[in-house]
């Protein structure tokens, strides 16, 4: 099972949650950024339908794969 950790960080004059190298929108306060990250984390745990998905990988190549809607990651929020 995959594990995802959202981190609350200072960003662009405010606060954001971060996953890897990606930042959320900027929030005025730490508490608002944390609340948004907790909401996103909660959504990550909800099972969905299995579907084919497409995305660009780090090299810019398009990848098509089957996403099992019931294989949900463990999710944490830090900060």
pLDDT above 70 coverage of the chain, percent:
99
Q: Count structural domains, the chain.
A: 1
Instruction: Please give the Cα distance from 46 to 17 (Å, whole number).
Output: 20
Closest CA to 38 of 21, 22, 24: 24
pTM of the model as a whole: 0.73
The string of pLDDT tens digits covering residues 8-20 is 999 999 999 999 9
- Quote the pLDDT of residue 79: 92
Instruction: Please give the Cα distance from 25 to 36 (Å, whole number).
Output: 10
**Domain coverage including residue 50:** 3-78
Q: Is the pLDDT of residue 60 over 80?
A: yes
Q: Is the pLDDT of residue 37 over 70?
A: yes
3-state secondary structure of 52: strand
Residue 47 or residue 74, greater confidence: 74
């Amino acid at each position: 099972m995959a594990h995802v950790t959202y981190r609350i960080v200072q960003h662009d004059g405010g606060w954001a949650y971060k996953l890897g190298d990606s930042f959320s929108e900027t929030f005025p306060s730490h508490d608002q950024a944390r609340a948004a990250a907790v909401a996103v984390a909660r959504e990550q745990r909800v099972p969905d339908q299995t579907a084919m998905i497409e995305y660009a990988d780090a090299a810019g190549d398009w990848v098509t794969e089957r996403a099992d809607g019931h294989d949900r990651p463990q999710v944490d929020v830090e900060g």
